[in-house]
A and B are shown apart, each in its own frame.
Chain A
């Protein structure tokens, strides 16, 4: 759907800004919010209280089993758990690793998905269609299988090592490094990104591109001034969802990454299951959430900005 039609539809749907508030609409919209509120909102609240040291009520059983729980000393709230986590020597390394992997993976996902999207939209042809379709395959494969596929491929007995070994070269394996986690994160995030970006490029009318071509613009100029700006929203969506997804990921860094420093998803699980420190794991989750919220806020801001510009608000 082209942007102009969307605008018109939006205006028709909502009319002027002061359309009356619908009670029916409110109740229809309530169920998913209620479900999320109870089953995610409440646990987040409980987790927050656990992280600041409230060990009573629903947090009681976890507090009995867990080790190193801060907050039993009779005080109402304590930030000791947060201090523990930040002071832990692993924290700084994990934070750096998580942020680096997330940003590098997002950049490359954008490059690859835009590349494939442009290829599909501007050239078409058998090869790009096959490529676009095949690139969706990782979507259906459970991430644990994907991790093993990547681990086997890039590992010590993997393809590229085998190739080099036949030339007598013994190059180090890629697995158990940050690079492998980046490659793995790109691999699993690509399908959704390609879907979004190709869909975004699809909504650009041929007329616009052809007009630019007739006006004598080069390919690069067309891409820069027509394609990218009009598909900006899907591209921002890809950037946001990919970075948030990679930020909290577990399976890929667990199988492909080094033991330390690792990404927060793995560390949170370690602290909860292996080291039996549920309070610290919850603290780390909130820190990741803070980072993810920062990304989310910029996404929401970008949405409103573009909605304002295109007259939908």
Chain B
């Protein structure tokens, strides 16, 4: 349920407080956006030698060079295919569990939630050796299925906890009223429960997509050297090509993400996220 709470406009009379608030806002803006802008300018720079404020020359050459890197194009293709699949697989596995966690009481309910949380706490980097061993044993190394599984692992916590809260927030009385009016169980689920929980589920899917799209370490471990997704190719490219190429990437990635945030903003900031991460 998106919450359109009107922000209060608490006025303060003191100029000092106003000045502090303004300074704080500007400081945060600089802190967050500064590095991105500084890097973005590099994307158009021929050469930029310290300590000059500006590059020696301007060019669009780097944009062209980026798309010439063939490895990157196929990596982006892989990412765009694999990430949605990961989200769908994760939804199929986790949404029933989310619903169960919200509506049923079953043996080990809280333990399951805690175990999910705990598995996130173990540094995956330390599992390189043994994840590799397990994957060889299961013949998953270097396969797309293996990469999908590795990415699904990290999305489970989003896909279970947030939809669980969304489902729990649907008033049971509404469902009961519909049942009394003669609707079938499935119809009730489809038209009432699912519809009301949909914003929460969408938020979970967006967060999962971002995670899968951005997942580098595990994918590198399992997929390389045969399967590269965008972030893993990016590791390689960023470490090899001059910084201007990285700058081009940052621009290419920031624009769609700002758009996505703009669209989903109402839901994401609307209160779903916090509800999702509690153990009730």
Contacts and interface: CB of A to CB of B under 8 A. Distances in A.
A1 B3 contact: yes
Contact of A40 (B94, B119, B168): B119
B19 interface: no
Contacts of A59: 130, 133
Given A21-B106, A152-B42, A199 B271 contact: yes
Contacts of A233: 274, 278
Interface in B1-51: 1, 3, 5-10, 12, 17, 21-22, 24-25, 28-29, 31-36, 38-39, 42, 48-51
Contacts of B128: 269, 272, 278, 281
Contacts of B275: 1, 6, 199, 203
A278 B137 CA distance: 18
A32 to B, nearest CB: 5
Interface stretch (A75-83, A89-97, A99-107, A287-295): A287-295
A215 to B, nearest CB: 14
Interface string A116-129: 10011111110110
Nearest to A139: B210
A207 to B, nearest CB: 11
Q: Please provide the 8 A-B residue pairs with the shortest distance between their CB atoms, ordered closest to farther.
A: A285-B126, A25-B104, A140-B257, A124-B7, A248-B123, A165-B51, A157-B50, A28-B100
Given A28-B104, A141-B257, A237-B277, A166 B116 contact: no
Contacts of A250: 125, 217
Nearest to A191: B32
Contacts of A136: 261, 268
A143 interface: yes
B28 A282 contact: no
A143 B215 CA distance: 9
A25 to B, nearest CB: 3
Interface of B: 1, 3, 5-10, 12, 17, 21-22, 24-25, 28-29, 31-36, 38-39, 42, 48-53, 93-94, 96-97, 99-109, 112, 114-134, 136-137, 149-150, 152-153, 156, 159-160, 168-169, 171-173, 210, 214, 216-217, 230-231, 234-235, 238, 243, 246, 249-250, 253-254, 256-258, 260-262, 265, 268-275, 277-280
Interface string A178-201: 000000000100100001111110
A289 B269 CA distance: 31
A86 interface: no
Interface in A1-56: 1, 6, 9-10, 12-14, 19-26, 28-33, 35-36, 39-44, 46-47, 50
Dominant secondary structure at the B interface:
helix
A125 B131 contact: no
B250 A281 contact: no
A202 B93 contact: no
A1 B214 contact: no
Nearest to A272: B128
Contacts of B172: 9, 12-13
A210 interface: yes
B274 A196 contact: yes
A303 B126 contact: no
Interface centre among B1, B107, B261 (most CB of A within 10 A): B261
A310 B131 CA distance: 41
Contacts of A304: 279
Contact of A141 (B25, B50, B131, B254): B254
Interface centre among A132, A144, A248 (most CB of B within 10 A): A144
Contact of A122 (B7, B24, B279): B7
A23 B102 CA distance: 14
Given A28-B97, A307-B278, A203 B271 contact: yes
A112 B24 CA distance: 9
Given A1-B169, A250-B125, A282-B130, A35 B153 contact: yes
A35 B274 contact: no
Nearest to B273: A199
Contacts of B246: 145, 148-149
A167 to B, nearest CB: 11
Given A33-B115, A139-B210, A248-B125, A149 B39 contact: yes
Contacts of B127: 40, 43-44, 47, 282, 285
A260 interface: no
Nearest to A136: B261
Interface centre among B5, B93, B118, B270 (most CB of A within 10 A): B118
Contacts of B93: 31-32, 35
